Amino acid sequence: MARRQRQTGALALLVTWHAGTSGAAVPSLDPETYLEPQDGEYWGGSASSTRPFAEERLKSAELDRAGFDKRIMDGQVFVVEDAGKDWPMDGWDCEYFRNDPVFGKAEMNQQYAAGGGAPFVGFKSDWMDSKTASGAKDKDAPQVAPFYWGIKDVQYPDAQRSKTWKKAMLKKVQEHIRLPRYMDTANKRNFETTPEFWFAAGGAGAKAHMDTHVQATMSVQLSGTKRWRLSVMDERSAPFLAMIYKDGDVYERSEAWQPQFNLTLKPGEALFFPPGFIHETLNLGEADSCSASVTFQFTEPMAVGMYRRFLPRVRRTADIHEAWPLLKQWATLKSKADKKGMAYADAKSKALGESGAGAAFRKRDKDGDGFLSNEELTAAFGQDAKNMLGFHDLDEDGRVAREEFAEVFALWAGTVKAAYDDTPPKHRQLQLKDMEADFNIEDVAPKLQRQLMEASFKLEKSRQHAGGASSTDSEL
């Protein structure tokens, strides 16, 4: 007999279990009944945990590749306390950048200011005397904007950057990067291409916001003491095609922002956190102190476990729309599928059948045993095999049963269909066009973005009143 329960640990979801043809118990992931993990249970350690949760703190010696990859794939927040010990960038404080013969010629500019970005100023200038207001409408938020040096952008001709930024500067940064031993060596290239440096006087920092990138982040504190406040994007009961986590947006909701994590980073410590997280920083030092840090994004592995478990909110939140094409690739094993999605029952039948998604599974199942092994996935998808496995392997036994694939594919297809159907007909093309060719949903005109946002909040509010899924957001 089927039974419904909330399972703790790796799956942490409300499901109906049934026996698959492989003999294993496989959860039903019908979007109509699926519940995402509870915040306290997933990030706080137990359902009774209250915000802010205690972050996991480790030493490098406590981490190996498997343990690190598991944390990243599950979307966990953790600090490695000695990540910067004996690091090549040890000693790169604010004075170093001011006096270095290579970096000292560069300029940086303030970000997260009340009126947007500010003009570029040199490292050798009196930039710490600049107290540009952030405009953050939260007494606990940083009230002064930080400075940003996005040297990674010298790689991109169309990026906004200062003429003082030179490839020789990026080369020097690259020469001082050392990948932690517990990380996949493929991430070395990620570190070399994504470095960005942040500088802040006492009381300055970045307003709460959510980035659109889809990879996990590592931030190493080079000097000073920085406070981080973080929270995952909220649960959604309506699809949003407008950005709702822009700089400082969470401060302007009717309910005060309650971060899931409130942690402090000291020099040499590194914070790891997943995509889809709203985050804010603040230099806790005195007014004349200077905080310096460097941040990287990396792709190996991706947070596929988190993406799957929280798929309903991910697929309904435009701020992380860059993940939507990836979800399709993982869910379908890079096969063709209707962008409008399909009903859960139909999608599951298709995945267990002989065509479409079912044919994609059978094509990769070379020995015909009803499972996709790591070897079979690697032969088909190369480096992306780890992500494919993590996205579909519900019982985490190191292989993907046909029934597991069918359930995850059907969860994705059913969620996409619900998001498409809930979108006003005149705007459904935005769901289909996103990330295709030169179209980007972030480029939608501000007036239309406002209309889309209002329509989504209205639908969500009506569902909450009717007893549907809850969200901590309310209309701006």
Q: Tell me: the pLDDT tens digits for 451-467? A: 999 999 999 999 988 87
Give the pLDDT score at 466. Answer: 85
The pLDDT, as a whole number, for residue 434 is: 74
More confident residue, 226 or 469: 226
Cβ-proximal residues to 459 (8 Å cutoff; 6+ apart), any chain: 237, 238, 422
Using alpha carbons, list the distances in angstroms from residue 238 to 270, 315, 472.
35, 10, 13
> Residue 414: which pLDDT band, with cuts at 50, 70 and 90?
very high
Backbone angles phi, psi at 156, to 5 degrees: -120, 115
Which position has the higher pLDDT, 343 or 19?
A: 343
List of residues 6+ apart from 249 with CB closer than 8 A: 208, 209, 476
Per-residue pLDDT, averaged over 218-239, amounts to 98
**pLDDT averaged over the chain?**
92
Task: Report the distance separating Cα 344 and Cα 410, nearest Å.
Answer: 5
| Cβ density class 242-272: b for 16+ within 10 Å, e for less | bbbbebbbbbeeeeebebbbbbebebbbbbb
The Cα 220–Cα 87 span in angstroms is 10
What would the pLDDT profile of 261-303 be if each residue is shown by its tens digit?
999 999 999 999 999 999 999 999 998 999 999 999 999 999 9
At 432 the pLDDT is 87
Quick: pLDDT tens for 74-107: 999 999 999 999 999 999 999 999 999 999 999 9
Structural element, H or E, at residue 265? strand 261-265
Instruction: Give the Cα separation of 425 and 423 in Å (integer).
Output: 6
Kindly report the number of other CB atoms within 10 A of residue 122's CB atom: 15
Residue 470 in tokens: 């809850």
Half-sphere exposure (Cβ direction) of 475: Cα atoms closer than 13 Å: 14
Q: Tally helices (H) and strands (E) across the chain.
A: 15, 17
Provide mean pLDDT across the span 12-29. 62
Residue with tokens 């994007």: 233
Distances (CA, A) of 273 to 78, 184, 279, 314: 7, 17, 10, 16
Residue 368 neighbours by CB distance under 10 Å: 7
Are 372 and 22 in contact by the 8 Å Cβ rule? The answer is no
Please tell me the predicted confidence (pLDDT) of residue 360: 98
3-class secondary-structure state, position 460: helix
b/e for 333-365, b at 16 or more Cβ within 10 A?
A: bebebeeebbbbeebbbbbbeeebbbbbbeebb
More confidently predicted of 52 and 119: 52
Backbone angles phi, psi at 218, to 5 degrees: -120, 125
At 292 the pLDDT is: 98
- pLDDT the model gives residue 441: 87
Summarised one tens digit per residue, pLDDT across range 22-78 is 555 799 999 999 999 999 999 998 989 999 999 999 999 999 999 999 999 999 999
Q: Which amino acid type is present at position 246?
A: K
For residues 224 and 312, what is the distance between their CA atoms, to the nearest angstrom?
39
